[in-house]
């Protein structure tokens, strides 16, 4: 199903938008949505490394709510740098893309992919409504919107999309002539929402293809977070296949599984490249 979709649907790269520039003279208030309000708004020059505050919020997420999607965000906050190239492999309703917008600044690059146009449209709308609502200046809003590059395509071909955009933006390549990526997010399953098509789900083969490539392009100190759901048809098999696959990642990548045992939520896999 997916290969034909990929071939028949051209990659649509829509330069969307971004957030506020800290250098701006326009009056800009903090975006409304804040998953971890205590962390506040990051400065453009700030590097996201461990801090006592990060640790506290992470501990709180594990101890009190056990929501693995929140834990994933907290781990991403510890790893993503302001000038990183980051990729949301399953854009969906945009929650992860919005986090990237907060963490990655103008000299970084955010790429957000989904096989469904609807997901990209929802996310663009959320950026406009949630991130840009306080910005009165239209040019400034547009600048923010242009921080995310959307592509309607299968994530198994993400590297060609990222390469094309990164080249245009002049992003530096590694010694092996590849773009190094600071973070990937992958939230498996279907697009949630009242009127969405729940038959369009991530599939094991393309999921593993994307993860294989992602593990090879991750920079040192970079992170892949994967949320796996078992509830839908095929979800259990996909989750087992992903668990098996990431368990065999090379030792430079530390793979951790976070599974809240007495609830039926998703399993979080954290793949951190330490060297």
Ligand X SMILES: C[S@@+](CC[C@H](N)C(=O)[O-])C[C@H]1O[C@@H](n2cnc3c(N)ncnc32)[C@H](O)[C@@H]1O
The site for ligand X (CB under 6 A) is made up of 2, 90, 92-96, 113-116, 119, 154-155, 187, 189-191, 200-202, 206
Q: Which is nearer to ligand X, 94 or 140 (CB)?
A: 94
Q: Which is nearer to ligand X, 46 or 192 (CB)?
A: 192
Q: Which is nearer to ligand X, 150 or 272 (CB)?
A: 150
Q: How far apart are CA 91 and CA 98, in angstroms?
A: 10
Q: How far apart are CA 188 and CA 207, in angstroms?
A: 8
At closest approach, how far in Å is the CB of 250 from ligand X? 25
Q: Which is nearer to ligand X, 123 or 143 (CB)?
A: 123
Ranges of H-type helices in 29-128? 52-60, 68-79, 95-103, 117-126
At closest approach, how far in Å is the CB of 238 from ligand X? 10
Q: How many alpha carbons lie under 13 Å from residue 137 in its C-beta half-sphere?
A: 13
At closest approach, how far in Å is the CB of 124 from ligand X? 13
Q: How far apart are CA 48 and CA 158, in angstroms?
A: 25
At closest approach, how far in Å is the CB of 114 from ligand X? 4
CB atoms inside a 10 Å sphere around CB 239:
23
Q: How far apart are CA 61 and CA 78, in angstroms?
A: 14
Per DSSP, 31 falls in state P
Q: Which is nearer to ligand X, 11 or 41 (CB)?
A: 11
At closest approach, how far in Å is the CB of 206 from ligand X? 5
At closest approach, how far in Å is the CB of 180 from ligand X? 22
Place of tokens 């990431």: 246
> Please, what is the Cα angle at 46 between 42 and 49, to 5 degrees?
100
Q: Which is nearer to ligand X, 206 or 239 (CB)?
A: 206
Q: Which residue is nearest to ligand X (CB)?
A: 92
CB atoms inside a 10 Å sphere around CB 132:
24
Cβ neighbors of 216 (< 8 A, separation 6 or more) are: none
Q: Which is nearer to ligand X, 28 or 201 (CB)?
A: 201
> Please, what is the Cα angle at 145 between 201 and 178, to 5 degrees?
65
At closest approach, how far in Å is the CB of 73 from ligand X? 10
């Amino acid at each position: 199903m997916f290969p034909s979709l990929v071939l028949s649907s051209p990659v649509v790269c829509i330069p969307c938008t971004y957030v506020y520039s800290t250098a701006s003279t326009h009056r800009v208030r903090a975006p409304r949505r804040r998953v971890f309000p205590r962390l506040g708004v990051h400065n453009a020059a700030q590097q996201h490394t461990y801090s006592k505050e990060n640790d506290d919020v992470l501990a709180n997420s594990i101890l009190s709510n056990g929501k693995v999607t929140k834990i994933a965000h907290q781990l991403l906050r510890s790893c993503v740098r302001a000038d990183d190239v980051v990729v949301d492999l399953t854009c969906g309703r945009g929650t992860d893309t919005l986090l990237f917008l907060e963490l990655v600044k103008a000299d970084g690059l955010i790429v957000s992919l989904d096989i469904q146009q609807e997901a990209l449209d929802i996310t663009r709308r959320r950026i406009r409504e949630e991130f840009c609502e306080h910005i009165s200046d239209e040019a400034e809003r547009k600048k923010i919107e242009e921080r995310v590059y959307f592509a309607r395509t299968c994530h198994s071909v993400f590297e060609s999309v990222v390469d094309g955009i990164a080249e245009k933006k002049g992003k530096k390549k590694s010694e092996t002539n590849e773009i190094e990526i600071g973070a990937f997010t992958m939230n498996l399953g279907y697009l949630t929402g009242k009127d969405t098509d729940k038959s369009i789900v991530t599939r094991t083969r393309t999921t593993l293809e994307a993860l294989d490539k992602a593990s090879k392009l991750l920079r040192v100190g970079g992170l892949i977070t994967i949320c796996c759901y078992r509830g839908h048809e095929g979800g259990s098999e996909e989750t087992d296949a992903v668990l098996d696959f990431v368990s065999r990642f090379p030792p430079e990548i530390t793979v951790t599984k976070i599974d809240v045992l007495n609830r039926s939520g998703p399993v979080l896999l954290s793949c951190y490249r330490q060297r």
